[in-house]
Structure 1
Amino acid sequence: MSNHYQVSEQDTGKRIDKLITEIDPSASRTQVQNWIKDGHLLVGGEQVKSNYKVQENDEITWEIPEPEPLKIEAEDIPLDVVYEDKDLIVVNKPRGMVVHPSSGHPNGTLVNALLHHCDDLSGINGVTRPGIVHRIDKDTSGLLMVAKNDHAHQSLAEQLANKTTDRKYEAIVHGEIAHEYGTIEAPIGRDNKDRQSMAVVEEGKPAVTHFKVLELFKDFTHVECVLETGRTHQIRVHMKYINHPLAGDPKYGPRKSLPINGQALHARTLAFNHPVTNERMDFHVEPPDDFKEMLELVKKRS
């Protein structure tokens, strides 16, 4: 796809990689820098560097290269299957596992493991995300539902959209939360200062998180979070927004935190109606050992 932009007076002086992400919010700074390096983005027909500062009336042209097709292969990776029938699978995803392949994670993902485990996954989300109805982050552990056919996929996706699923998380956050219960209602979108991150922004999509304090410690709080919406990084962004970022969160938390490899966040409860029988399905899994160890650590410190 070919694109063209003439720099206006108000854009003068901006770095070209930053400007392009403002013009096309779906593009990341890294992507744009790669386009520049590979000669896909030109100013006045000439190659420039990523830190080039644009001038008024500069003619910028860029071609978005076709993504290289990913070859998704089945891999014999152990799966913690909580429930399975001919329509769906519920798995307990370990911390550190990516849900679906991407250019940065072409293998070793939950999808690679699922393709080895079973032949029938829904095709609604294409070849790289077969069966994936919803996601949890790489370093978030816990329950995930996967559709084996398109009917199940459509039903589960509709339940998510209609907010009839039940998704509860456990988290350890920084600080001592003063209220036993709370609701965070704040829109989430791409961070205007860092396109690789999400943030509470005025132009973002509506997002609602409910929380309940499970236990207070010195400098930390163990909380339960209930998702009403499912925005990218929602709990992590919302807890940071109220000045209680997740412990161990490398993107949204403080540098000095608990010695846990990634954010202390676990998808403990998942409930939905079966796409065929309409029976209410309700699943619970305990947090992983490293999460429990962090709870013990903050208890001892308190």
Structure 2
Amino acid sequence: MNTETFDVDRPGRADALVAEHLGISRTKAAQWCTLGVVRAGPNSDALEVVGKSTKIALGSRLVIEIPEEPDPLDVKVEIVAGLNVIADEHDYVVVDKPAGVAAHPSPGWSGPTVVGGLAGLGYRISTSGAAERQGIVHRLDVGTSGLMVVATTEHAYTALKNAFRDRTPKKIYHTIVQGLPDPLNGTIDAPIGRHPGHDWKFTVLEGGRDSITHYKTLEAFGPATLVEVTLETGRTHQIRVHFSGMNHPCIGDLTYGADPTQAAELGLTRQWLHAHQLGFEHPGTGEWVEYHSDYQPDLSYALSVLRGERLDS
């Protein structure tokens, strides 16, 4: 375990000072404070463990015992419950991803991943791309369920990566949004960029990347509407951001302004958003292929409640 020691040249919160001095995120600095590895005092002989919000006085000595952490980008071979392979081709596999699973390892994420789950099932995926993203040609948010294609050969990785870059695959999502969109069918053409106040959120932002979402209403329930969404672009959180920008966030999506009371009434702990259909040119044969995915149980339950259907007790 490495130790960092420095004298405080301006007063401030412990987590802010640690983050600034070590060049790490405020979140990680706060986690280290919670672990009890940050101490402060007037000198090295009078140090006490401090919490993340502890005010550190000017001239204090701050000592951080940096914890050893596993590389967050290491691929962990694991069995991922609910991760189903629905197509097993020579060049690719198509998976039906459950919510709560990330596409690949990333800093700050310690949960299950599609990459790790496929490795656990014995699949050899393409080694192209960054080590932690091998075979990944597109992604779904952790809280979004549904279809993903993963390349298993180098040729397929290149072909599929180019296809998604050129926007030729057909990606159809179903989501339930709060209220009733106006118009009922339409296109949202609004640039998306990183939220200036939250480094983990995105927003409609002048100067952001071009982002185009087409939608049509499938069913209207009054307090919510089931819509089908087709993407021209594939920005991070695109559907969630665009509907939030219309003041019709995806129900259950508390990050982007959804009503927590409504989410609780529908039994949702994540956004009602599902990658329902995926089509693309087969990288080996050139034929057009399409795949479909049924709603996950939590989404089906919420939809049944909105429809007023009788539910089994």
Common fold: TM-score over 0.5? yes
Q: Using a 3 Å threshold, how does the CA distance of structure 1 residues 163 and 254 change in structure 2: closer, same or farther? A: same
Query: Which residue does 1:59 correspond to in 2?
Result: none
Q: Distance in 2 between matches of 1:167 and 1:28?
A: 34
Residues 28 and 195, structure 1, Cα contact 8 Å, conserved in 2? no
RMSD between aligned residues: 3.3
The answer for unaligned runs of 5 or more in structure 1 is 1-15, 40-48, 53-66
Q: Is 1:69 aligned with 2:71?
A: yes
Paired residue type of 2:71: P
Residues 28 and 196, structure 1, Cα contact 8 Å, conserved in 2? no
Q: Distance in 2 between matches of 1:183 and 1:170?
A: 15
Q: Distance in 2 between matches of 1:156 and 1:28?
A: 34
Paired residue type of 2:243: M
Query: Which residue does 1:127 correspond to in 2?
Result: 131
**SS of alignment partner, residue 183 of structure 1:** strand
Paired residue type of 2:275: A
Paired residue type of 2:272: A
Paired residue type of 2:121: H
Paired residue type of 1:254: D
Query: Which residue does 1:44 correspond to in 2?
Result: none
Q: Is 1:268 aligned with 2:276?
A: yes
Output one character per residue of 1:86-143: Cα deviation in whole Å (capped at 9) or x when no partner: 1100000012222212343335221111112234211223221221111101111100
Residues 29 and 195, structure 1, Cα contact 8 Å, conserved in 2? no
How many percent identity over aligned positions?
37
Q: Distance in 2 between matches of 1:292 and 1:105?
A: 27
**SS of alignment partner, residue 129 of structure 2:** coil
Q: Which of these two proteins has the greater Rg computed from alpha carbons?
A: 2
Residues 97 and 138, structure 1, Cα contact 8 Å, conserved in 2? yes
**SS of alignment partner, residue 167 of structure 1:** strand
Q: Using a 3 Å threshold, how does the CA distance of structure 1 residues 50 and 229 change in structure 2: closer, same or farther? A: farther
Q: Distance in 1 between matches of 2:122 and 2:163?
A: 24
**SS of alignment partner, residue 128 of structure 1:** helix
Note the 1:200-239 alignment, pairs <5 A.
200-239=204-243
Q: Using a 3 Å threshold, how does the CA distance of structure 1 residues 122 and 186 change in structure 2: closer, same or farther? A: same
1:30: how far off?
Answer: 2.8
Note the 1:1-302 alignment, pairs <5 A.
29-30=26-27, 69-70=71-72, 71-78=74-81, 79-252=83-256, 253-257=258-262, 258-300=266-308
240-249 or 129-138, which deviates more = 129-138
Q: Distance in 2 between matches of 1:227 and 1:77?
A: 28
Q: Using a 3 Å threshold, how does the CA distance of structure 1 residues 237 and 280 change in structure 2: closer, same or farther? A: same
Q: Distance in 1 between matches of 2:79 and 2:261?
A: 37
Q: Distance in 2 between matches of 1:280 and 1:120?
A: 24
Q: Distance in 2 between matches of 1:142 and 1:177?
A: 24
Task: Give the TM-score, by structure 2 length.
Answer: 0.75
Residues 73 and 107, structure 1, Cα contact 8 Å, conserved in 2? no
Q: Using a 3 Å threshold, how does the CA distance of structure 1 residues 243 and 113 change in structure 2: closer, same or farther? A: same
Q: Distance in 2 between matches of 1:215 and 1:28?
A: 43
Residues 100 and 112, structure 2, Cα contact 8 Å, conserved in 1? no
Output one character per residue of 1:219-243: Cα deviation in whole Å (capped at 9) or x when no partner: 1000001111000000000000011
Output one character per residue of 1:268-291: Cα deviation in whole Å (capped at 9) or x when no partner: 000000112111011111111211
**SS of alignment partner, residue 256 of structure 1:** helix
Q: Using a 3 Å threshold, how does the CA distance of structure 1 residues 73 and 35 change in structure 2: closer, same or farther? A: closer
Output one character per residue of 1:135-180: Cα deviation in whole Å (capped at 9) or x when no partner: 1011111000000122111111111111110000000100112323
Output one character per residue of 1:66-100: Cα deviation in whole Å (capped at 9) or x when no partner: x9634323223353111011110000001222221
1:196: how far off?
Answer: 1.5
Q: Distance in 1 between matches of 2:112 and 2:132?
A: 13
The answer for unaligned runs of 5 or more in structure 2 is 1-14, 39-51, 56-68
171-180 or 251-260, which deviates more = 251-260
The count of corresponding residues between Structure 1 and Structure 2 is: 268
